Chain A
Amino acid sequence: MTDRVYLDNAATTPLDPRVLEAMVPHLGGRRGNPSSLHAFGGSARERLEQARERVASLIGASPGEIVFTSGGTESDDLAILGLARSAGSDQRHAVVSCVEHAAVREAAKRLQSEGFEISWVGVDEDGLVDTAQFAASLRPDTALAAVVWANNEVGTVEPALELADICAEVSVPFHSDAVQAAGRVPIDVSEVPVSTLALSGHKLYGPQGIGALYVREGVSLEPIVYGGGQEKGLRSGTENVAGIAGLGEAARLAGEEMDDRVAHERALRDRIMAGTAEIPDVSVNGHRERRLSNNVHLTVAGAEAESLVLYLDALGYAIGSGSACSSGGHKASPVLLAMGLTEREAFSVVRITVGKDNTAEDVDGFLEAFSTAVAQLREISPLYAG
């Protein structure tokens, strides 16, 4: 695996060695339960609270507003289900964008099956949420609204401030999934009136299996996990101390290094954009400017996503595919369809996401491999007459 080049950082990032170092003390030997009164427990509790401060600091929150979870999906589920279930019985409506991560989309569908009415808010061809439609969808019986901070597929950064302000004006709780945005886009919850905000460790060079939900002071949430009442009752269960310590360190590093990382990623991203633009019939999806610094999302006419990803894998380059093929049929991404891509186009998309550890050499090698793979697949494609 050493010679392989990893360009799928939106799926998961490598674990930063400094993060690992922060976790190691909690992975072996004697350890305490943060709820225990003795010294072992106290030490664990200390690390927990230190991590909480660090995560809070990344987004301008108070430590008391951070709830640790098992990851981005649980954070989103806790927010969507928790907000809906704590709302009044006459509030059975939610407003959700069409470009949400599956964690939010499926939680909203779950609400729908429980009798909630969902207003799905559309996007333009760049994946930007229609703010006018969003505002018009809010009603007196709206229990919550949710729009992703930055989309995980095409990387479009949504107007979170504007959307949160719209909600705040009519006192509708607003949730945003910031899993991809955190560490790449400045997020300050003291400026943006979100009610809840989801974060994940493994997109930030932290460990997998750990995440956090920001819950604004005063916002009431119904838990989805019941037990010993940890995390102020919002997430029962003994805390994942090693994971939390890792997330804390990852958040600290992300805050400190954000400017450098973003500049580095952007340079690599733009190099990929420029290189792939030279291949005919390759187009960029997502907004050109309001875009995550690490994201390149392409439609490659005539080449099917899975075969392109596996072809590149065979050449030593790991990228993401934009669609999933299962049991005899593809499932086109709802996000891409919402942006107006045809089904066929949505089967021909790939996502290349750079990270802080990638180099210009990685990118140049990738561009060469990509050009070869695209040419080869088009050569055998009955759908491409270039």
Chain B
Amino acid sequence: MSDRYRQQVVDHLVRPRNAGEIADPSGGGESGDAACGDVACFTVGISDNVLERVRYKVYGCAACIAAGSALAESVEGKHLLDAARVSKTDLEDALGGPLPAGKEHALTLVLDAMHKAFEDHWNRTAGEMLIDSRGDRATGGRSVVAAMSGGVDSAVTALLLKEAGYEVATVTFRLHDGERGSRSCCSPDTVLFARDTAHKMGLPHFTLNLKELFDRRVMQDFVGSYSEGKTPNPCVACNAHVKFHASSFLADELGFRHVATGHYARVEEGPTLARPVDESKDQTYVLWPVPRDLLSRTIFPLGEYRKTEVRAIAEERGLAVAYTPESQDICFIPDGDYRGFVRKKVAAEAGDVVDREGQVLGRHAGVVDFTVGQRRGIGVSAPTPLYVTEVRPRSGQVVVGRKHELEVREVEVRDLNWFLDPEEAACVQVRYNGSPVPCTVEEGDEGRWVAYLDEPVIGVAPGQSAVFYTEDEERVVGGGVVARRDP
């Protein structure tokens, strides 16, 4: 690789194509910052998913200016899907070959600016729509929008769909500001990583900015639940309000029929959710709130695979994601300290630790630090281990008791989403890593349902999901949120 610029680069520098900015664009995007030195801005005019006009501005080295010029020139007039497919390698080819060593960031910079302009276009088009569930406007045939997080599961999902003959467009959501290095074009960044992965598979990649929606429907709910003494599940909230709606929105805009994610689950006729082949990775428990109309257009390719097979596929196809570690934590709290996260958002007030009879056993620093079933951090010594059995946010009391006091035989469930006739509900799962317990269900007041458990279970906390399965435990009948236990 030469450390001098090619003639094509100099030509783009001295005779830039498509320089400037559109006064009234469909979308605009900027990438780079002061620390990096270079800044690129793209404005685009889009009509019927065709890039009618593309203009760019760059402050930066010759490589950045030339890359911006070559990119703008090459994508103008193209369909969005084709523009979103342009990879760093394609761009290098347009510049006559590899850039000098150390200049590769120019490609990332200008591509990122263009993609942010697309993102802005989608977000402008969506307006407030992403907040509500959308009907199935699908028109396309074997076409699918696949959500990509940058991890192995979602990458293999997109790959399997492509190999099955689908027209695939990938999308990565900006959900919060916690992504590593998300401020700089030169740092590891999940969005850039996902884009590279998509481009290596020859797939178009888009981004959607869902930070506001995610904050309102997931993060605020997460914090609020803790202060109400409940145990929230943010993945459930995201599936209920964010991820599938956003994928579906993009599918509608592109005229695509399906949406897909890398969840381990299956969709069966109905539609209903069914357990995946790899039961150890089963994610049906967090998917119950996906609205029926969205589930009916959803594909979960990984439902037919074991995790080990997914990793093998990734390795075989040379996807770098194959080596990324499994993500376990809540995505917006990468360090796993969700107490610390909640405490930063809400003021915690000290209160009493009491037993079931109301006798004060000690003090605590705030109800947000406690969930039902918790054993550690109670700060009261006792001959037998104490567990949190109830959190009372109004009085600021944390009730503790012995393990058997956690046992529950009756669970009230709200916000139900039924896929099948409730009569088919034969068992209920109340924890992510729990197993279903046989039960009978009965409709209660105000749309609530009560599950009568055949055997007592421990650690049922308000705010968690209760998911009902069929007798063979293979299909999800429906699910809801635990309102309270043992009235």
A380 and B20 within 8 A (CB): yes
Residues of B within 8 A of A330 (CB): 36-38
Would you give the shortest CB distance from B290 to chain A, in whole angstroms?
Answer: 40
With most chain B CB atoms within 10 A of its CB, the pick from A311, A380, A383, A384 is A380
Q: Which stretch from A30-38, A119-127, A301-309 is at the chain B interface? A: A301-309
A328 and B105 within 8 A (CB): yes
Asked if B30 lies at the interface with its beta carbon under 8 angstroms from chain A, I say yes
Contact A310/B5 with A327-B102, A383-B39 known, Cβ cut-off 8 Å: yes
Complex Cα–Cα for A303 and B105 (A): 19
Contact A310/B62 with A330-B37, A344-B34, A382-B57 known, Cβ cut-off 8 Å: yes
Contact with A along B103-141 (1 / 0, CB 8 A): 111000000000000000000000000000000000000
Complex Cα–Cα for A310 and B105 (A): 18
Contact with A along B62-83 (1 / 0, CB 8 A): 1011001000000000000000
Residues of A within 8 A of B35 (CB): 329, 343
A325 and B61 within 8 A (CB): yes
Which of A302, A306, A344, A347 interacts with B62 by CB under 8 Å?
A: A306
Which of B5, B34, B38, B103 interacts with A304 by CB under 8 Å?
A: B38
Asked if A314 lies at the interface with its beta carbon under 8 angstroms from chain B, I say yes
A329 and B62 within 8 A (CB): no
Q: Which stretch from B11-19, B446-454, B462-470 is at the chain A interface? A: B11-19
Contact with B along A298-336 (1 / 0, CB 8 A): 000011101100110111000000000111111000000
Contact with A along B13-43 (1 / 0, CB 8 A): 1101001100000000010001111111100
A329 and B65 within 8 A (CB): no
Asked if B84 lies at the interface with its beta carbon under 8 angstroms from chain A, I say no
Residues of B within 8 A of A380 (CB): 16, 19-20, 56-58, 65, 68
Asked if B186 lies at the interface with its beta carbon under 8 angstroms from chain A, I say yes
Asked if B202 lies at the interface with its beta carbon under 8 angstroms from chain A, I say no
Residues of A within 8 A of B366 (CB): none
Residues of A within 8 A of B62 (CB): 306-307, 310-311
Asked if B59 lies at the interface with its beta carbon under 8 angstroms from chain A, I say yes
Asked if B60 lies at the interface with its beta carbon under 8 angstroms from chain A, I say yes
Would you give the shortest CB distance from B9 to chain A, in whole angstroms?
Answer: 8
Residue of B nearest to A344 (CB): B34
B102 and A326 within 8 A (CB): yes
Would you give the shortest CB distance from B487 to chain A, in whole angstroms?
Answer: 61
Complex Cα–Cα for A310 and B10 (A): 7
Would you give the shortest CB distance from A71 to chain B, in whole angstroms?
Answer: 22
Asked if A238 lies at the interface with its beta carbon under 8 angstroms from chain B, I say no
Residue of B nearest to A379 (CB): B19
Residues of A within 8 A of B68 (CB): 380
Residue of B nearest to A330 (CB): B37
Contact A383/B13 with A326-B102, A328-B36, A328-B105 known, Cβ cut-off 8 Å: no
Contact A328/B102 with A306-B61, A344-B34, A382-B41 known, Cβ cut-off 8 Å: yes
Residues of A within 8 A of B5 (CB): 310
Which of A302, A304, A311, A347 interacts with B14 by CB under 8 Å?
A: A311
Asked if A381 lies at the interface with its beta carbon under 8 angstroms from chain B, I say yes
Residues of A within 8 A of B59 (CB): 302-304, 381-384
Residue of A nearest to B37 (CB): A330
Which of B30, B36, B103 interacts with A382 by CB under 8 Å?
A: B30
Residue of B nearest to A378 (CB): B59
Contact with A along B310-326 (1 / 0, CB 8 A): 00000000000000000
B20 and A314 within 8 A (CB): no
With most chain B CB atoms within 10 A of its CB, the pick from A306, A347, A376, A383 is A306
Would you give the shortest CB distance from B252 to chain A, in whole angstroms?
Answer: 33
Would you give the shortest CB distance from A334 to chain B, in whole angstroms?
Answer: 15
B37 and A310 within 8 A (CB): no
Would you give the shortest CB distance from A378 to chain B, in whole angstroms?
Answer: 9
Complex Cα–Cα for A326 and B63 (A): 12
A382 and B58 within 8 A (CB): yes
Complex Cα–Cα for A377 and B58 (A): 9
Would you give the shortest CB distance from B34 to chain A, in whole angstroms?
Answer: 6
Would you give the shortest CB distance from B38 to chain A, in whole angstroms?
Answer: 7
Complex Cα–Cα for A176 and B58 (A): 41
Residues of B within 8 A of A327 (CB): 101-102
A329 and B30 within 8 A (CB): no
Complex Cα–Cα for A313 and B9 (A): 13
Which of B58, B61, B102, B103 interacts with A381 by CB under 8 Å?
A: B58
Residues of B within 8 A of A306 (CB): 61-62
A347 and B37 within 8 A (CB): yes
Complex Cα–Cα for A384 and B16 (A): 17
Residues of A within 8 A of B101 (CB): 327
Residues of B within 8 A of A313 (CB): 10
Would you give the shortest CB distance from A54 to chain B, in whole angstroms?
Answer: 37
Complex Cα–Cα for A246 and B243 (A): 73
Chain B positions 256-275 with a Cβ under 8 Å from a chain A Cβ: none
Chain A positions 343-383 with a Cβ under 8 Å from a chain B Cβ: 343-344, 347, 376-377, 379-383
Q: Could you tell me which B residues sit within 8 Å of A by CB distance?
A: 5, 10, 13-14, 16, 19-20, 30, 34-41, 56-62, 64-65, 68, 101-105, 186
Q: Could you tell me which A residues sit within 8 Å of B by CB distance?
A: 302-304, 306-307, 310-311, 313-315, 325-330, 343-344, 347, 376-377, 379-384
Sample (23) of A-B pairs whose CB atoms are under 8 Å apart:
A302-B59, A304-B38, A304-B60, A304-B61, A306-B61, A307-B13, A311-B14, A311-B62, A314-B10, A325-B61, A325-B103, A328-B102, A329-B37, A329-B186, A376-B16, A379-B19, A380-B16, A380-B20, A380-B65, A380-B68, A381-B57, A381-B58, A383-B39
Known: A311-B62, A314-B14. 16 other contacts (CB 8 A): A302-B59, A304-B59, A307-B60, A307-B65, A310-B13, A311-B13, A314-B13, A325-B103, A326-B102, A330-B38, A343-B37, A380-B68, A381-B58, A382-B40, A382-B59, A383-B59
Q: Which 9 residue pairs across A and B have the least CB separation, nearest first? A: A330-B37, A328-B105, A382-B57, A306-B61, A380-B19, A327-B102, A382-B41, A310-B62, A383-B59
